[in-house]
């Protein structure tokens, strides 16, 4: 064993003498590991969310192999291990219910094992924040490799985007503008390769946030899953994480308040998902960094929308990669004084220094700062007697005329009631009404599903109208669009004012003034509150009960209250 080895955490397992050292090393040797792997070199955990039930992450075992090559080459000892995976398309009721459970798995798997540094392999939406949250609470040197987007979908000569075009096709089918045969054919054309959604949905957004926070190598987030450059990056990450252990460049040294400020501004410039608000606030909570929903509004107000990707624009991630990807956006924001320079990333240089030479190869995909797709859009945080702790709207994804609107509420007490009534032509509703959905918040559903862009009534769609003001305590898929007010906090199931709205009430939405107002007197609201009873607990036992009893509200990031903060990575007590 080398003199240096005692400085690494793993030496407490593999460097031990007598029976303990024998046990720790001998059982590892059943995998054919040579003895010199235990000579005190950095042990690198490759934390893999691979799963065939998570199609967006199905290629990550191949990525892990490339990481291992780099780790061996740099003199480290790589060990891959699985953690829970969260597949957006299959899991019910919603992956968000399990984000914190996966984060617990990641955290405890890292802490319990002889690891000195970690490479996180993520992909589908919730796998990204869950892995970062868990690793943040351990605070070892950490690099993230996001899985990369799928290639562009291709259908009838057009590019089609995952999620965004599914919403459009299903509305067209309901409105009689698309045949069932074409709808079925589109299904064969959407997902052409490995990778996550290739729109600027939550996965692409969170990959961009991961890079903006400094946790990936420069330019890594946009590389398509099947591009050889993704495998090259994985190899380089394997080398780099070994050096990061030697430099003791820990998670908390990279992801600071200034790094979050950079990420919030980048999120506005890329037209990122509203889900980023919840995930970044939860991650900040793990690190003891103060980050609020108001930061997303305040920091993003002077940031123009530069990236012309669905659902805000027309292109897809493959086009964005060819145009230059995130470094182009970073350079553009930095040159206009919108980013912090003094924030180190995992490669040891700052985010802005890494992007200093970035070139824009397609100015329609990534617009120049002085010719943006849209000005002053960002994410607007609304307040008022309907959302005392805040609500969120993404103006760039909404019909502009609806951003200042007063209308009669039509209330649905649950998503099931909405589904039962929305096709009924006798429903008393027109396009000037405000649709209100309750019971879809963190506790209410439970898990705060992505139903905030709920469907318009069929009779309104048939008029050719495609957007209405919709308000809920739900989230919205990052691939979706519409004049939808989301994340109303406190949620209805926690007794927030949303629970008190009745059909026929008037609601005012004024995005320019950040106002969401229920035009009902305080006296009447107090009377309704006194008569309100909370919904029953969704489950009596197990993780869902734990989640229900401890989940925090949307404006607090929806983490479990006892998971806020971190415990570092002390050496656990020995078992034998």
530 alpha carbon, distance to own chain's centre: 37
- By beta-carbon proximity to ligand FES, the closer residue of 262 and 275 is 275
Taking CB under 6 A as the criterion, the residue among 70, 201, 384, 497 binding ligand FES is 201
C-alpha distances (whole Å) from 442 to each of 449, 551, 553 are 8, 7, 7
Count of residues touching ligand FES (by CB under 6 A):
10
> Which residues are 154's β-sheet partners?
159
Residue 499 phi/psi, 5° resolution? Answer: -65, -20
| Smaller CB separation from ligand FES, 475 or 517 | 475
Q: Is 55 left (phi over 0), alpha (psi -120 to 50) or beta?
A: alpha
The least distance separating ligand FES from the CB of residue 85, rounded to whole angstroms, comes to: 11
Rounded to the nearest 5 degrees, what angle is found at the Cα of 161, between the Cα atoms of 157 and 164? Answer: 125
Q: Single out the residue of 43, 71, 91, 124 in contact with ligand FES (rule: CB under 6 A).
A: 124
* CB-CB contact of 346 with 249 (8 Å): yes
d(CA 250, CA 287): 12
Q: Encode burial over 488-500: b for 16+ CB neighbours within 10 A, e otherwise.
A: bbbbbbbebbbbb
Report, in Å, the least distance between residue 89 CB and ligand FES.
5
Q: Is 555 left (phi over 0), alpha (psi -120 to 50) or beta?
A: alpha
Looking at the Cβ atoms of 130 and 355, the one nearer to ligand FES is 130
| Binding window for ligand FES (CB under 6 A); candidates: 164-172, 194-202, 348-356, 387-395 | 194-202
Query: For residues 201 and 372, which CB has a smaller minimum distance to ligand FES in the complex?
Result: 201
Of the pair 141, 201, the CB lying nearest ligand FES is at 201
Q: Are 277 and 390 in contact (CB under 8 A)?
A: no
Site residues for ligand FES, 127-156, by CB under 6 A, read: none
Considering the complex, what minimum distance in angstroms separates the CB of residue 60 from ligand FES? 12
Q: Considering beta carbons, is residue 100 or 162 the nearer one to ligand FES?
A: 162
Say how far apart CA 290 and CA 220 lie, in whole Å: 27
Determine how β-strand 43-48 pairs with β-strand 484-485: unpaired
Q: What are phi and psi of 91, to 5 degrees?
A: -70, 140
Site track 81-100 with ligand FES (rule: CB under 6 A), x = hit: -------xx-----------
Least gap, CB of 126 to ligand FES (angstroms):
9
Position among 80, 107, 116, 125 found at the interface with ligand FES (CB under 6 A): 125
Query: Cβ–Cβ contacts within 10 Å for residue 344, how many?
Result: 17
Chain positions 404 to 443 lying near ligand FES, rule: CB under 6 A, are none
Per CB under 6 A, which region of 42-50, 195-203, 394-402, 565-573 contacts ligand FES? 195-203
Spatial contact of 257 and 263, defined as CB atoms under 8 Å apart: no
Q: Among candidates 170, 175, 47, which has minimal Cα distance to 119?
A: 47
* Residue closer to ligand FES (CB basis): 197 or 254: 197
What's the closest the beta carbon of residue 155 comes to ligand FES, in angstroms?
17
Interacting positions 161-190 with ligand FES (CB under 6 A): 162
Cβ proximity to ligand FES, 137 vs 162, nearer residue = 162
Using CB under 6 A as the binding rule, whether residue 115 contacts ligand FES is answered as: no
DSSP 325-367: -HHHHHHHHHHTT-S-S--B-TTSSBHHHHTTT---S-TTTB-
Of 197-205, 347-355, 483-491, 526-534, the window that binds ligand FES (rule: CB under 6 A) is 197-205
Q: Shortest Cβ distance from residue 124 to ligand FES (Å)?
A: 3
Interface of this chain with ligand FES, residues 265 to 304, rule: CB under 6 A: none
Among 111, 196, 235, 548, binds ligand FES (CB under 6 A): 196
382 binds ligand FES (CB under 6 A): no
User: CB 51 → ligand FES: shortest distance, Å?
Assistant: 11
Residues 20-79 within binding reach of ligand FES (CB under 6 A)? 56
Q: How far is the CB of 49 from ligand FES (least distance, A)?
A: 11
Q: How far is the CB of 250 from ligand FES (least distance, A)?
A: 28
Q: Which of 197, 264, 284, 382 binds ligand FES (CB under 6 A)?
A: 197
Token pair recorded at residue 68: 């291992």
Instruction: Give the Cα separation of 189 and 160 in Å (integer).
Output: 8
Nearer to ligand FES, 226 or 349 (CB): 226
Helix (H) or strand (E) holding 287: helix 275-287
Integer Cα distance of 434 and 506 in angstroms? 8
Burial 20-59 (b: 16+ CB within 10 A, else e): bbeebbeebeeeeeeeebbebbbbbbbbbbbbeebbbbbb
| 203 part of the interface to ligand FES, by CB under 6 A | yes
Which of the stretches 20-28, 173-181, 193-201, 258-266 binds ligand FES when contact is defined by CB under 6 A? 193-201
Task: Give the nearer residue to ligand FES in terms of CB position, either 114 or 201.
Answer: 201
Stretch that binds ligand FES, among 4-12, 77-85, 196-204, 344-352 (CB under 6 A): 196-204
Give yes or no for residue 399 binding ligand FES (CB under 6 A).
no
SS3 (DSSP) at 143: strand
d(CA 212, CA 430): 43
Instruction: List residues near ligand FES by CB under 6 A.
Output: 56, 88-89, 124-125, 162, 196-197, 201, 203
């Amino acid at each position: 064993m080398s003199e240096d080895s005692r400085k690494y955490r793993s030496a407490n397992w593999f460097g031990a003498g007598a029976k303990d050292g024998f046990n720790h090393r001998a059982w590892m040797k059943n995998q054919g590991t040579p003895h010199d792997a235990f000579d005190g070199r950095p042990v690198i955990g490759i934390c893999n969310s691979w799963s065939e039930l998570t199609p967006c992450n199905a290629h990550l075992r191949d990525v892990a192999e490339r990481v291992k090559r780099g780790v061996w080459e740099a003199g480290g000892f790589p060990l891959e291990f699985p953690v829970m995976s969260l597949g957006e398309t299959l899991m019910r009721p919603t992956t968000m219910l399990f984000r914190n459970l996966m984060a617990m798995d990641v955290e405890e798997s890292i802490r319990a094992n002889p690891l000195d540094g970690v490479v996180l392999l993520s992909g589908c939406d919730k796998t990204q924040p869950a892995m970062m949250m868990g690793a943040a609470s351990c605070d070892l040197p950490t690099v993230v490799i996001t899985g990369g987007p799928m290639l562009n979908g291709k259908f009838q000569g057009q590019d089609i985007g995952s999620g965004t075009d599914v919403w459009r096709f299903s509305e067209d089918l309901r409105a009689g503008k698309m045949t069932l045969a074409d709808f079925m054919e589109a299904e064969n054309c959407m997902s052409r390769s490995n990778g996550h959604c290739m729109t600027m949905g939550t996965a692409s957004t969170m990959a961009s946030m991961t890079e903006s926070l400094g946790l990936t190598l420069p330019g890594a987030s946009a590389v398509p899953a099947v591009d050889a450059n993704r495998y090259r990056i994985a190899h380089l990450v394997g080398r780099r994480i070994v050096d990061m252990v030697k430099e003791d460049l820990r998670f908390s040294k990279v992801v600071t308040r200034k790094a979050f400020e950079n990420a919030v501004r980048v999120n506005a410039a890329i037209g990122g998902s509203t889900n980023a608000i919840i995930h970044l606030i939860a991650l900040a909570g793990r690190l003891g960094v103060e980050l609020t929903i108001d930061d997303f509004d305040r920091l993003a107000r002077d940031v123009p929308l530069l990236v012309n990707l669905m659902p805000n624009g027309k292109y897809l991630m493959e086009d964005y990669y060819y145009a230059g990807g995130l470094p182009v956006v970073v350079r553009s924001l930095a040159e206009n004084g919108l980013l912090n320079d003094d924030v180190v990333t995992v490669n040891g240089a700052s985010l802005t220094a890494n992007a200093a030479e970035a070139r824009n190869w397609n100015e329609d995909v990534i617009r120049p700062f002085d010719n943006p797709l849209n000005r002053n859009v960002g994410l607007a945080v609304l307040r008022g007697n309907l959302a005392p702790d805040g609500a969120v709207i993404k103006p760039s994804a909404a019909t502009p005329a609806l951003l200042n609107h007063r209308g009669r509420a039509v209330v649905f007490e649950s998503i099931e009631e909405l589904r039962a009534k929305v096709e009924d032509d006798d429903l008393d509703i027109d396009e000037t009404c405000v649709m209100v959905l309750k019971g879809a918040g963190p506790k209410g559903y439970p898990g705060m599903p992505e139903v905030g862009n709920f469907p318009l009534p069929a009779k309104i769609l048939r008029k050719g109208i495609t957007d209405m003001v919709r308000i809920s305590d739900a989230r919205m898929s990052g691939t979706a669009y519409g004049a939808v007010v989301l994340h109303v906090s406190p949620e209805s199931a926690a007794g927030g004012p949303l629970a008190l709205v009745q059909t026929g009430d008037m609601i005012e939405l004024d995005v320019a003034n950040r106002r969401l107002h229920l035009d009902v007197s305080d006296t009447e609201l107090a009377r309704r509150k006194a008569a309100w009873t909370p919904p029953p607990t969704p489950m009596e036992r197990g993780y869902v009960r734990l989640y229900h009893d401890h989940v925090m509200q949307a404006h607090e990031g929806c983490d479990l209250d006892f998971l806020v903060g971190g415990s570092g990575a002390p050496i656990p007590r020995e078992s034998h």
